[in-house]
Amino acid sequence: MTDLYQSQRAMRRMRKAAMDRRLIAILDVGSTKIACLVLRLEGPELGAPEDGLGRMAGQATFRVIGAASTRSRGVRFGEIDAMQEAERAIRTAVQAAQKMAGQRVDHVIACFSGGRPRSYGLAGEVPLSEGTVSEADIARALAACDVPDIGQGREVLHAQPVNFALDHRSGLSDPRGQIGNRLSVDMHLLSVEASAIQNLLYCIQRCDLELAGLASSPYVAGIASLVEDEQELGAACIDMGGGATGISIFMKKHMIYADAVRLGGDHVTLDIAKGLQVSQAQAERIKTRHGGVIATGVDDRELIECGGDSGDWDRDRRRVSRAELIGIMRPRVEEILEEVRARLDAAEFEHLPSRAIVLTGGASQIPGLDGLVARILGQHVRLGRPLRVRGLPQSATGPDYAAAVGLCLFAAHPQDEWWDFDIPAERYAGRSLRKALKWFRDNW
Amino acid sequence: MQPLMLSPALRAVDPQPQRPRDPAPSRLSYRMHRLWLTPLYRALLRVGLPAFALAFVGGLWLVDEGRRSGLVERLTELRRDLEERPEFMVTLLTVEGASVELAAQIRAALAVELPASSFALDLEALRQKVAAMSGVAQAEVLIRPGGILALRVTERVPAIVWRGPEGLWLLDREGHRVAPIASRLDRPDLGLVAGAGAEAAVPEALALYAAAEPVAPRLRGLVRMGERRWDVVLDRGQRILLPERGAVAALERVMALALAEDMLARDVIVIDMRNQARPTLRLAPAALEELRRMRGQPAGATSG
């Protein structure tokens, strides 16, 4: 656990350095596109007051000054598959965003959806030595959590305290300064495969950038597209990307569960390409222009031109009806949603007070998808778009930029994680001087 | 799978079909782009490098001694050409506000060689030179359009004649010298002061002259005694000794006595007002004799 502390704290330091330089880049490594935004942080003195989030829910503290996206290469299922290709794609996006911003960025916060994220709920409890809860007590409580066996070759990506309880009172968001005897904490821990992180880290280092933070893409998509009430009352955000579909469940403004299904819009495109015997590019075009999931009578009469692009223009011309296209797309979309359903069931989503479902991501733009989702997942379905962020170009306001926008919010207002609290003194061997000082303070 | 390790030689033998251009920047161009976006480097390259190149080329050109002196020569020539343009030439000196003699004196003292370039004239030095002349209270120097060097002078007005160690001088109200005169009779309208330190107390002397208005025809002049007090000298050898302080008031007192009792017309040699509490008269010997005779005292006896 100590190296985790070290690496995450190193990232936090990097993020602090970026905050001081007022410039940070956001990198959304997806399977379809790689998006890079350059943020100029405007600091707390502009707009936001001391306490609370301030103007526009804290979004006034930064401004997007550069935005670029490029077609993703070498990324599959939200993981880096071919390093050189992925590195080139990241380079393209970063260079274009830097060019638009007119400034060089050195620090980058990245998110990815792959790496088989897995959620764990942790609980820890400590007796309080003094009457009131201090930050050191919280750190001790966090340290007292039993860490489950997350498996070989996996790393912790997020470890966020989601709930504090003091004696019999539960649901505290900030117990500091309160009086009690026992402090217990619930923590949500998200682990991903270490190789996915390492590959991404390597690619980013090859681009001469410093990694100042890592986030899971379902989490940041949820931050961007769930409104405050949904985050408070319980909602699931389903981020339908190209290679993977991320699921994150929010409750009381904390993420309590995240997962990803390794299926996405690219699979729908592949199905179309195979079913209609067309190239992938053409299948993508047909999907975006004519796609749908609910067939009606008029769709039988709407014919779509599709040639094999084989050079034989006279013979290789076919027409398919839209109903046929829907017949290809719908089973795959249903399969994705069934998978999502299974994950939500595993997370006991049906026990939440408000079971709102918000769809974002590029694949959520299929017409009629909300109707299909309502049949499979539940009644409260909404198509979510990310919040408007200052300076974001119009082309980057669609649902496919939910993760990028969420990462901006994450960069401006990161949630407290485990490693933001000091390590308790008894667990930390290197600080004997501090221990001695503490002993003096306690005994004299 | 695409060939990963195809050597260029092999590729030349078996040319691949033309693939679409890779939009990704090469590692080198990416690094160059980032370097270019670095603010310090950018400033250095955009400002520093051209400035350095200019300075370097200039330095190379100036290394040669002949070129350097030629450049200096050309610059001075250019400067002279500019200065000697007719627009900048001064051809005329006018003096305003001075009498004819003073103007002539000023012209002689300045000795400006005209025509001269206005760049070559040091107006402040000229002004100080003129202002330092006796007889000039204030001086202004300016160059008017049309090449005129205009001197505006405020002349000192003579107020009194001073008989000093260097002869007779005219002084103005503050005691500054205005001009020497040859004879007292040149300015009979002005009063006369004499004695050591008289020129330093001209304002008081003028006040005394004003107070002595009733005996003006008899007034010969004022004598400064011991650089601290005045004597008023009248004709027939009469003197009024004034105190150091309150001289004007004492003189006014004497004038009142003179008007009321016609004191000055009597045979009095000295009226001593130095001690305010005890004014003293000194009679002429004959008058003293007469007084004693009238009082019936023997001659030669003294009293009080």
In this complex, the residue of B24, B37, B38 whose CB is nearest that of residue A91 is B24
Residue with the two structure tokens 């992938």: A280
Number of CB atoms found within 10 A of residue A294's CB: 15
Check: CB of residue A219 under 8 Å from CB of residue A190: yes
pLDDT value of residue A423: 63
Residue B10: pLDDT band (50, 70, 90) is low
Residue B265: pLDDT band (50, 70, 90) is confident
Q: Does B30 touch chain A (CB under 8 A)?
A: yes
With a cut of 70, say whether residue B281 has pLDDT above it. Answer: yes
Question: How far A190 CA lies from chain B's nearest CA (Å)?
Answer: 33
Chain B partners within 8 Å of A88 (Cβ): 22, 24
Question: What's the rounded mean pLDDT across residues A66-80?
Answer: 90
pLDDT value of residue A402: 92
pTM of the complete model: 0.65
The 10s digit of each residue's pLDDT in B235-249 is 888 888 889 888 888
pLDDT value of residue B258: 84
With a cut of 60, say whether residue B14 has pLDDT above it. Answer: no
Q: Which of residues 216-275 of B touch A (CB under 8 A)?
A: none
Of residues A64 and B131, the one with the higher pLDDT is A64
Mean pLDDT of chain B: 83
Contact B37 A98 (CB under 8 A): yes
Contact A103 B37 (CB under 8 A): yes
User: Which domains, ranges and CATH numbers included, belong to chain B?
Assistant: 86-155 (3.10.20.310), 200-295 (3.40.50.11690)
Please give the distance of CA B223 from its chain centroid, rounded to a whole number: 32
Burial of A246 (0-12, 13-18, 19+ CB in 10 A): buried
Give the least confident one: A75-89, A103-117, A267-281, A296-310: A296-310
Chain B partners within 8 Å of A95 (Cβ): 25, 30, 33-34
The 10s digit of each residue's pLDDT in A259-305 is 999 999 999 999 999 998 888 888 999 999 998 999 888 888 888 88
Q: Does B27 touch chain A (CB under 8 A)?
A: yes
User: Which domains, ranges and CATH numbers included, belong to chain A?
Assistant: 118-192 (3.30.1490.110), 265-333 (3.30.420.40)
Give the integer Cα–Cα distance in Å for A313 and A297: 30
Q: Does A103 touch chain B (CB under 8 A)?
A: yes
Question: How far A92 CA lies from chain B's nearest CA (Å)?
Answer: 5
Contact A104 B27 (CB under 8 A): no
pLDDT value of residue B170: 86
Of residues B67 and B16, the one with the higher pLDDT is B67
Kindly state the tokens that stand for A114. 């792959």
pLDDT value of residue A339: 93
Long-range contacts formed by A396-399: CB under 8 A, 24+ apart = A396/A35, A396/A37, A396/A67, A396/A69, A398/A362, A398/A365, A399/A225, A399/A359, A399/A360, A399/A361, A399/A362, A399/A364, A399/A365
Please give the distance of CA B202 from its chain centroid, rounded to a whole number: 22
Contact B37 A70 (CB under 8 A): no
pLDDT value of residue A309: 67
In this complex, the residue of B23, B25, B37 whose CB is nearest that of residue A104 is B37
B interface test, pick of A70, A91, A106, A107 with most B CB neighbours within 10 Å: A91
With a cut of 90, say whether residue A330 has pLDDT above it. Answer: yes
Question: What's the rounded mean pLDDT across residues B142-162?
Answer: 84
Q: Does A431 touch chain B (CB under 8 A)?
A: no
ipTM over 0.90: no
pLDDT > 90 fraction of chain B, expressed in percent and rounded? 9
With a cut of 80, say whether residue A385 has pLDDT above it. Answer: yes
Burial profile A152-175: b = 16 or more Cβ within 10 angstroms, e = fewer: eebbbbbbbbbbbbbeeeeebeeb
pLDDT value of residue B304: 44
With a cut of 70, say whether residue B2 has pLDDT above it. Answer: no
Q: Does B22 touch chain A (CB under 8 A)?
A: yes
Kindly state the tokens that stand for A90. 């990241």
Number of CB atoms found within 10 A of residue A226's CB: 25
Residue A98: pLDDT band (50, 70, 90) is very high
Question: What's the rounded mean pLDDT across residues B83-108?
Answer: 82
Question: What's the rounded mean pLDDT across residues A313-324?
Answer: 83
In this complex, the residue of A92, A98, A99 whose CB is nearest that of residue B24 is A92
Nearest CA to A248 among A158, A313, A379?
A: A158
pLDDT value of residue B104: 84
Residue A119: pLDDT band (50, 70, 90) is very high
In this complex, the residue of A91, A104, A206 whose CB is nearest that of residue B38 is A104
Q: Which helix (H) or strand (E) holds A22?
A: none
With a cut of 70, say whether residue B201 has pLDDT above it. Answer: yes
Question: What's the rounded mean pLDDT across residues B85-113?
Answer: 81
Give the least confident one: A279-293, A340-354, A428-442, B109-123: A428-442
pLDDT value of residue B214: 83
Residue A148 is which amino acid? Answer: P
Mean pLDDT of chain A: 85
Of residues B189 and A34, the one with the higher pLDDT is A34
pLDDT value of residue B102: 80
Question: What's the rounded mean pLDDT across residues A306-324?
Answer: 79
Question: How far B72 CA lies from chain A's nearest CA (Å)?
Answer: 46
With a cut of 90, say whether residue A89 has pLDDT above it. Answer: yes
pLDDT value of residue A2: 52
pLDDT value of residue A428: 53
pLDDT value of residue A171: 83
Kindly state the tokens that stand for A150. 């997350």
Contact B33 A207 (CB under 8 A): no
Contact A89 B24 (CB under 8 A): yes
Q: Does A415 touch chain B (CB under 8 A)?
A: no
pLDDT value of residue A443: 78
Q: Does A311 touch chain B (CB under 8 A)?
A: no
With a cut of 60, say whether residue A396 has pLDDT above it. Answer: yes
CB contacts < 8 A (A, B): 33
Question: What's the rounded mean pLDDT across residues B73-90?
Answer: 87
